[in-house]
Amino acid sequence: MALAGGAVLLCIIVLTCVSIIGRALVPFDIGVGPIRGIYDMTEIGMAAAIFAFLPWAQFNEAHARVDLFQPVMPKSMDRFLDLAFNLAMLVVAAVGTWRLYLGMQDKLSFGETTLIAQIPVWQGYAASLLGAVGFIMVAAFCVLRSGRRMAGLPD
């Protein structure tokens, strides 16, 4: 999923560059001008890419943490806090995905579109929902992994 998110970011970069070059060439009457709706496409693409990166960040335990007291904590307490953190992330992932799904249903039922490109807004929610579901699955795996660590079993 992270690779797909990276591909989306690369597409956004290319589209943005083409749009900027097209805008710069307008006074010379060269090219097609800026891409219509580039802001809408960038907004949707960025949301989808961010959600695509969440499972990878969770799997690698790369979310922001405060490890100020970790060196002086007993190993068992550290493992317990890892389990608690991963359980909390699973709850956050599940609630966030549920709310994202409800938001997508709302946008779909009202037929809302973006202002300039007239892209149906629900499509951006649906693209983000793929990453959010992956986030839930990886967060559940991380809870199991933390539980195994607490039990003294290998990862």
pLDDT at 109: 97
The 10s digit of each residue's pLDDT in 86-130 is 999 999 999 999 999 999 999 999 999 999 999 999 999 999 999
Q: What average pLDDT does the structure give for the chain?
A: 93
Q: In sequence order, what are the residues at sequence separation of 6 or more whose Cβ sits closer than 8 angstroms to the Cβ of residue 54?
A: 93, 131, 132, 134, 135
Residue 20 has pLDDT above 80, yes or no: yes
pLDDT at 139: 97
pLDDT at 53: 97
In terms of C-beta density within 10 A (0-12 exposed, 13-18 middle, 19 or more buried), how is residue 139 classed? Answer: buried
Residue 136 has pLDDT above 80, yes or no: yes
pLDDT at 73: 87
Average pLDDT over every residue of 17-45: 91
Supply the pTM of this predicted model: 0.89
pLDDT at 71: 82
pLDDT at 66: 74
pLDDT at 155: 72
In terms of C-beta density within 10 A (0-12 exposed, 13-18 middle, 19 or more buried), how is residue 3 classed? Answer: exposed
pLDDT at 68: 79
pLDDT at 152: 87
Domain residue spans of the chain:
2-150
The 10s digit of each residue's pLDDT in 41-70 is 999 999 999 999 999 999 998 887 777 777
